[in-house]
Amino acid sequence: MSRTRGTHLTHWGAFHAETDGVRLTSVTPYVDDPEPNELIHNVASAQHHPTRIDRPYVRLGWLRRGPGSAPRRGAEPFVPLDWDRVLDLLAAELRRVYDHHGGQAVFGGSYGWASAGRFHHALGQLHRFLNCLGGYVRSVGTYSYGASEVLLPHVVGGFDEVLSNATSWDSIATHTDLVVAFGGISAKNAMMSSGGVARHQLRSRLAQARARGTRFVSISPIRDDTPDEANAEWIAPRPGTDTALMLAVAHVLISENLVDHGFVERYCTGYPEFAADVLAKGRTPEWAERITEVPAHRIRVLARQMATGRTLITVSWSLQRARHGEQPLWLAVVLAAMLGQIGLPGGGFGHGYGSTAYPGERSAAVHLPSLPQGRNPISTFIPVARIADMLLNPGGEYEFNGERLSYPDIRLVYWCGGNPFHHHQDLARLRRAFTRPETIVVHEPFWTSTARHADIVLPTTMTIERDDFGMGNADPLLLAMPALTAPVGLSRNDYTIFSQLADRLGVHTAFTEGRDAMEWLTHLYEEWRDGLGGDNSGIPRFAEFWSAGAVALPPKPPHRVLFDAFRADPEQNPLRTPSGRIEIHSATIASFGYEDCPGHPDWLETAELQAGESSRAERYPLHLLANQPKSRLHSQFDVGDHSRSTKIRDREPLRMHPADAARRGLAEGDIVRVFNDIGSCLAAVRLSELVRPAVVQLSTGAWYDPDPADPRLCRHGNPNVLIADLPTSTLSQACSGGHTKVEVERFTGPLPELTVLAPPPIALLDKPSGKAADPVNSRHRTD
């Protein structure tokens, strides 16, 4: 390609780039972005990093012995193959598995954020392809808010509306006296929106509300979870104890007669049972102080403040990404109901302000163009975070949301657009689970840990190397994303790879409908535009859009007040719950009989927090928060310049209170071993008074770099080696990866070099005999 200039969209922002056809030579923030961020600089610096996958590879053992369980998956060299050969091998393997076992044996869940861009969306491409072959076992729910997705339908009749019709920032600035933000309102997280963000504006939203008199209380173990613009008061409970704090607020509201009885009687079920339980169990501020370490007096004052004016209670998604994560979310709804403010402008409850850019913002009034997925004839699914359980327990039975289900027997795993060795917990266990399938296929631009644990690794383009268009849900601006450079190495688009496989498998026409990628872009756009009917005025034809580079879509009308119609007339507009009302007590959930999620919210001890000599809490006194990283999206572009600039001697930073460091003789920049009974990792100390004492923060996303002798040890700083693979509860079976308990000590050994910064060992095929070279002689590629 020749020298170009262009605009591009990522999940974390848009940017302008100049290129020499091979590389981006300059990257500047999108001209219209009021609050741009540094993450845009990860892209160019990672594009030609040595960990880009340059060509197709197959694991040596798979090539030699064919499909089968493989204890050495992840520890063997890869053999470079040409495209035709690898596509022939993969097509034959897909044929074998579909013929002998059917789609029931193929796991295509492939959870992950992939990249911005409507057509080249990796998961959409994979699912359409597998549907052409006979379907696949899918996953349901997310790592983001898996507990909420299951719980909220029981409590308020749905999940989507809470997100898409969240009280708008304008309404907050106009009506809200007090925002009580559990988990804060994070500027680092609001950099993202799935699909992209062109204009970031969280800080100005907060500043505007503040200027109009809204007060903020940020309840979080980390002070900078809410930016300075909010001028928030900071309350720092022990992590995972918000439920106790909320119950104590409920206790104060009840005992000081601050409950809106008219509201709970008319609009809710189960309030009397809940209130009786709170009183009977003595959930007083003094009781909560012992658990949360927030002074009882402060809890009392908070409850009174909440009952004084218009109050919005918001809970970040992180609160439910924990053992018993359903409880604090449910309680936020209950407290908002007790205050009688659900359905009033600027009041009630919210979920995830600051968790991404979206909550409180307006998305487009129209749906967006997207690639049709076809039909999946396989009905089997797993809750997304049960991936390791599924692979380790074929046929095993489990409960999920009142249903008894069993795990399928998976022969082939196909991952395209996600990184389970980033997103899952107890990575050594996941590694064991990954030895089980007969074949694992991964499409990736980079040698992520997941690619290293695959049998067949196919190199895919980055978004800057292909034509697409994209938009997120926080600002309705559809951007053209023309290719800025040529693809690196022999990488191909996921679409091209699936088309070529489809050709070998006799489903080419079904998959491609005879279109190439640019024809698809035109087709999807024009079909979408036509489908808008009268709503398409002002939306140009494709050619004009493509040359203009952007089109502003009409935003949704200003949000209705969440649950206003229900409030106006609950008989005419009931909620979609069994009672039609807000379920403070859910007879349905109670009927499931789950000890870890009873019929109304309550404080449930977790192993992490339990006292007792042999407990994890006693042996590992520091509470580790594995939150989202400020320097990247998840594991994406961890090799990029900005992400690497935040590391110390290549290790992920661990934020720690100076008092905790002093007690352990640790100083800024020290390399430490972070450990518990699940695993250990290396990290580098960053001292900070913004982190509450007895809490350490190690964000996710450092590429898992297992010690060859002990996969429970990550040399780089991936917290998921330290976190149990346990569900939130039996009800939602969601990811509980936010927290664990650890101890930290100075690392005294020689600092091991990271292996994830270079490609894995490569074995060259001994051409004449067709056999692979002796792996002992394989060379470790560093170019």
Show which residues are catalytic.
111, 113
SS3 assignment, position 167: coil
Q: x/- contact string, 118-137, with ligand MGD (CB under 6 A)?
A: --x-x---------------
Question: Distance between CA atoms of 245 and 532, rounded to whole angstroms?
Answer: 48
CB 477 within 8 A of CB 199: yes
* Torsion, Cα of 195, 196, 202, 208 (10° steps): -100
From 6, 653, 738, 760, residue interacting with ligand MGD (rule: CB under 6 A): 738
The residue among 104 and 496 lying less far from ligand MGD, judged by its C-beta, is 496
- Quote the CA–CA distance of 727 and 637 in Å, as a whole number: 28
Site for ligand MGD in 28-87 (CB under 6 A): none
CB of 625 to ligand MGD, least distance (A): 5
- Closest distance between Mo ion and the C-beta of residue 636, in Å? 12
Nearer to ligand MGD, 426 or 583 (CB): 426
Between residues 139 and 144, which has the closer beta carbon with respect to Mo ion? 144
Instruction: Enter the tokens of residue 205.
Output: 């939203």
The CB-of-224 to ligand MGD minimum distance in angstroms stands at 8
Burial class (CB in 10 A: 0-12, 13-18, 19+), 90: buried
416 binds ligand MGD (CB under 6 A): yes
Residue closer to Mo ion (CB basis): 144 or 586: 144
Nearer to ligand MGD, 103 or 109 (CB): 109
CA–CA distance, 333 with 346 (Å, rounded to integer): 14
For residue 208, the SS3 value is: helix
Residue 268 interacts with which of Mo ion, ligand MGD, none, CB < 5 to 8 Å by class = none
Q: Is 5 exposed, middle or buried (0-12, 13-18, 19+ CB in 10 A)?
A: exposed
Interaction pattern, residues 310-349, with Mo ion; x per rule: CB under 5 A: ----------------------------------------
CB 645, min distance to ligand MGD, A: 15
Q: How far is the CB of 192 from Mo ion (least distance, A)?
A: 9
Binding Mo ion (rule: CB under 5 A), the pick from 10, 115, 131, 144 is 144
Residues 522-551 that bind ligand MGD (CB under 6 A): none
Residue of the chain from 13, 184, 472, 717 that contacts ligand MGD (CB under 6 A): 184
Q: What is the DSSP letter of 477?
A: E
Residues 6+ apart with CB under 8 A from 674: 624, 654, 680, 681, 682, 683, 696, 698, 717, 719, 722, 742, 743, 744
Contacts of 749 (CB under 8 A, 6+ apart): none
Site string for ligand MGD, 236-255 (x = CB under 6 A): ---xx-x-------------
Nearer to ligand MGD, 30 or 358 (CB): 358
Burial of 306 (0-12, 13-18, 19+ CB in 10 A): buried
Cβ proximity to ligand MGD: between 59 and 567 the closer is 59
Contact 444, 459 (CB under 8 A): yes
The residue with tokens 């050594």 is 428
Residue 321 contact among ligand MGD, Mo ion, none, beta carbon within 5 to 8 Å by kind: ligand MGD
The secondary element (H helix, E strand) that includes residue 441 is strand 439-444
User: Under the criterion CB under 6 A, does residue 110 sit at the interface with ligand MGD?
Assistant: no
User: How far apart (Å, rounded) are the C-alpha atoms in residues 720 and 700?
Assistant: 7
Q: Which is nearer to ligand MGD, 239 or 343 (CB)?
A: 239
Kindly tell me which residue out of 215, 283, 423, 452 binds ligand MGD, with binding defined by CB under 6 A. 423
Alpha-carbon distance values, 280 to 260, 416, 601 (Å): 20, 52, 14
DSSP string, 19-37: E-SSSEEEEEE-TT-SS--
- Taking CB under 6 A as the binding criterion, the range among 426-434, 483-491, 533-541, 732-740 that sits at the site for ligand MGD is 732-740
User: According to CB under 6 A, which residues from 185 to 204 bind ligand MGD?
Assistant: 186, 188-189, 191-192
Binding residues for ligand MGD, rule CB under 6 A, total 63
Cα–Cα distance measured from residue 12 to residue 26, given in angstroms and rounded to the nearest whole number: 18
Quick one: which of 108, 221, 570, 653 contacts ligand MGD (CB under 6 A)?
Answer: 221
Residue 698 binding ligand MGD, by CB under 6 A:
no
Which residues neighbour 156 within 8 Å (Cβ) at sequence distance 6 or greater?
162, 333, 563, 575, 577, 582, 583
Please say whether the beta carbons of 477 and 471 come within 8 A.
yes
| Distance from C-alpha of 58 to C-alpha of 442, rounded to nearest angstrom | 10
The binder of ligand MGD chosen from 292, 363, 627, 732 (CB under 6 A): 627
Alpha carbons 127 and 228: distance in angstroms, whole number: 43
Q: Residue 80 Cβ, how far from ligand MGD at the closest point, in Å?
A: 19
Q: Which region among 391-399, 437-445, 594-602, 761-769 touches ligand MGD (by CB under 6 A)?
A: 437-445
**Of 494-523, which residues contact ligand MGD (CB under 6 A)?**
494
CB-CB contact of 163 with 341 (8 Å)? no
Residue with Cβ nearer Mo ion (51 or 635): 635
Q: Which partner, Mo ion, ligand MGD, none, binds residue 188 by CB below 5 to 8 Å per kind?
A: ligand MGD
**Binding window for Mo ion (CB under 5 A); candidates: 78-86, 138-146, 431-439, 614-622:** 138-146
Q: State how far the Cα of 599 lies from the Cα of 590, in Å rounded to an integer.
A: 4
Q: Which of 42, 104, 131, 144 binds ligand MGD (CB under 6 A)?
A: 144
Phi, psi of 230 (to 5 degrees): -80, -15
Which distant-in-sequence residues (6+ apart) come within 8 Å of 448 by Cβ? 419, 421, 422, 635, 703
Binding mask of the shown chain, residues 261 to 300, with x at each position contacting ligand MGD by CB under 6 A: ----------------------------------------
Residue identified by tokens 């498998």 is: 505
- What is the three-class DSSP state of 328? helix
| Residue 355 interacts with, from Mo ion, ligand MGD, none (CB under 5-8 Å by kind) | ligand MGD
Q: Strand (E) positions, 173-264?
A: 178-182, 215-219, 233-235
**Binding-site member from 314, 628, 643, 729 for ligand MGD (CB under 6 A):** 628
Binding mask 97-136 for Mo ion (x = CB under 5 A): ----------------------------------------
Going from the C-alpha of 21 to that of each of 1, 3, 40, 483, 486, the distances in angstroms are 5, 5, 19, 10, 6
Q: Which span sits near ligand MGD by CB under 6 A: 111-119, 339-347, 374-382, 613-621?
A: 111-119
Q: Which one, 42 or 144, has the nearer CB to Mo ion?
A: 144
Beta strands in 720-760 (DSSP E): 739-746
Binding-site size for Mo ion (CB under 5 A) equals: 1
Say which entry of Mo ion, ligand MGD, none residue 467 contacts (CB below 5 to 8 A, set by partner kind): none
**Minimum distance, C-beta of residue 245 to ligand MGD, in the bound complex (Å):** 8
Binding site for Mo ion (CB under 5 A): 144
Binding site for ligand MGD (CB under 6 A): 112-115, 120, 122, 143-144, 182-184, 186, 188-189, 191-192, 219-222, 225, 239-240, 242, 316-319, 321-322, 355-356, 416-419, 422-423, 425, 443-446, 448, 460, 494, 625-630, 633-636, 700, 719-720, 723, 735, 737-738
